[in-house]
Amino acid sequence: MGKSYNLIINEIEKLIVSKNIFDIINLEKDNIYNKSAVSLLVKKYINENCLYNLNIINDYNIKLKFVSVDSNYKCYEAMSFTNDSLYNIMFEKWDSKDPFEIASLKKDLEFSYLFIPIIKEKRSGLFNNFMDWKIGDLSFWKPNDEILSLIGKEWNDVKNTIQSGIIIEQVKYGSIYRNNNNLPKQSETKYIHLRPHGKDSRDIDIKYFDYTNRTIEITKQSFWLNKSFINQLLNNNKWKMNLKGE
């Protein structure tokens, strides 16, 4: 890793690690009451107080990813990428000399990822007060060729399932019914899975719906990194301060 990467991440680490949300929030100006509030708050704090603002971080192809974890750094949920139509996935390739054919997920994985854990505690299904949430030790990950190849195999399994045909069935959950499909589940894979990522159940994949002659209605999907894989990344890629920047 180059000297500039080390300087940037060292600076971010010194700025935010071990701080509570209470330490960085401006109660008069900051809005904490939406799903992405904490990530926006931390990004704003970095942008205003770090020598390297978000534009510089982006220039180095570093993506900041916020991960909700417990005190043992076990994540509470999988990590999503941008949703994409199942129709598009069918015509993508994991390996191709044509950049326009490359899978959007693989393009996402060409970046470096700085994981910023937000330590929370959950009791009886509820998180503790957000003001007590703490920023944990950073982890830095750039997918190597071996990991990309392994993820690519699972991606191709998903693609093959889509090409063979999505099967939707209604399954009863208590007093209601939910739609299940035959896409590979998180429990069946090691690295990635595809799952809903729409605004709600009515936010469907229109492009795929039209492709199936309006017969298969499925909520917008996106790829997610599996929880167990994220836990592995957080544990194996803890950032170590490199003051020399070498």
State the pLDDT at residue 34: 66
- Summary mean pLDDT of the chain: 91
Chain length of the chain: 246
Q: Is the pTM of this model over 0.75?
A: yes
Q: Is the pLDDT of residue 1 over 60?
A: no
Which CATH code of 3.40.50.300, 3.40.600.10, 3.30.360.10, 3.20.20.60 fits the domain covering 3-236? 3.40.600.10
Q: Which residues pair with 68 in a beta bridge?
A: 118
State the pLDDT at residue 201: 82
Q: Which residue pairs, CB below 8 angstroms and at least 24 apart, start in 68-73?
A: 68/117, 68/118, 68/120, 69/117, 69/118, 69/119, 69/120, 69/136, 69/234, 70/119, 70/120, 70/121, 70/122, 71/119, 71/121, 73/117, 73/119, 73/136, 73/137, 73/231, 73/234, 73/235
Average pLDDT of span 14-34: 84
Q: Is the pLDDT of residue 3 over 60?
A: yes
Q: pLDDT-derived band of residue 110, with 50, 70 and 90 as boundaries?
A: very high
Identify the residue with better confidence: 149 or 199: 149
Average pLDDT of span 122-137: 91
Q: pLDDT-derived band of residue 35, with 50, 70 and 90 as boundaries?
A: low
Q: pLDDT-derived band of residue 33, with 50, 70 and 90 as boundaries?
A: low
Interatomic CA distance for residues 193 and 182, integer angstroms: 12
The domain limits of the chain are 3-236
